[in-house]
């Protein structure tokens, strides 16, 4: 639970840590109280406040309102999806991720270039309450290893390849145990 002891101390801490980049009036900084945890946010300058819904709730709403309208076109994959189709597929992927044993708050990495599956993964991660870690599709094995260790990802979704990179072979070079381990039971020294 968080309590505010000194607003000026918090402001000094925030200001010094961001090198003066934060210039937000104090009345826009919301904090939690002792009785109940509340979501807080800072909506910055201007008169408009943030929408109080999640990505999943927004997708559900637009799917209900204009579900038959085209949401995504990926010409290089020959994929066209409506809002309703995207919503249904993201719900299925979110449920599958949770069925794999991932829990809200855990990290899910995606190592892929722009494609429909990337968008679907982003939406599904949001619906499942997962933190999405975006890995640069051009990363070499050493960079991937550093990123996975640094972010403590619980799962990785990867494309098959990118340009001349074979993602599975590159992943096997840093986690050779992947070929002999059962799904969800990979133990690697690296």
pLDDT, averaged in runs of 10, over the chain (190 residues): 34 35 37 47 71 88 95 94 96 95 94 93 96 93 92 90 87 88 80
The pLDDT score that the predictor gives to residue 50 is 72
d(C-alpha 74, C-alpha 95), whole Å: 24
* pLDDT reported for residue 1: 31
What DSSP string describes 56-69?
Answer: HHHHHHHHHHHTTS
Q: State the Cα–Cα distance between residues 56 and 180, nearest whole angstrom.
A: 36
Q: Which helix (H) or strand (E) holds 130?
A: none
| C-alpha torsion sign, points 45, 50, 55, 58 | negative
CATH class of domain segment(s) 55-179: alpha beta
pLDDT of 39 reads 56
**Domain-wise residue ranges, the chain:** 1-50, 55-179
Tell me what pLDDT residue 61 has: 94
Cα–Cα distance between 14 and 32 in angstroms, integer?
Answer: 17
Burial grade of 49 (CB within 10 A; 0-12, 13-18, 19 or more): exposed
């Amino acid at each position: 639970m968080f309590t505010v002891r000194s607003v000026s101390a918090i402001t000094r801490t925030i200001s010094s840590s961001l090198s003066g980049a934060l210039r937000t009036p104090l009345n826009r900084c919301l904090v939690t109280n002792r009785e109940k945890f509340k979501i807080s946010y800072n909506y910055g300058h201007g008169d408009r406040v943030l929408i109080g819904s999640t990505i999943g709730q927004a997708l559900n709403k637009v799917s209900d309102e204009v579900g038959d309208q085209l949401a995504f076109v990926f010409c290089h994959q020959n994929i066209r999806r409506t809002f309703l189709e995207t919503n249904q597929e993201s719900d299925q992927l979110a449920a599958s991720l949770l069925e794999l044993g991932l829990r809200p708050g855990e990290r899910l990495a995606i190592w892929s270039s722009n494609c429909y599956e990337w968008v679907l993964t982003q939406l599904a991660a949001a619906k499942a309450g997962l933190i999405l870690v975006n890995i640069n599709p051009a990363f070499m094995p050493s960079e991937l290893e550093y990123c996975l260790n640094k972010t403590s990802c619980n799962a990785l979704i990867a494309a098959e390849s990118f340009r001349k990179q074979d993602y599975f072979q590159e992943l096997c070079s840093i986690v050779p145990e992947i070929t002999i381990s059962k799904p969800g039971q990979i133990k690697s020294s690296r």
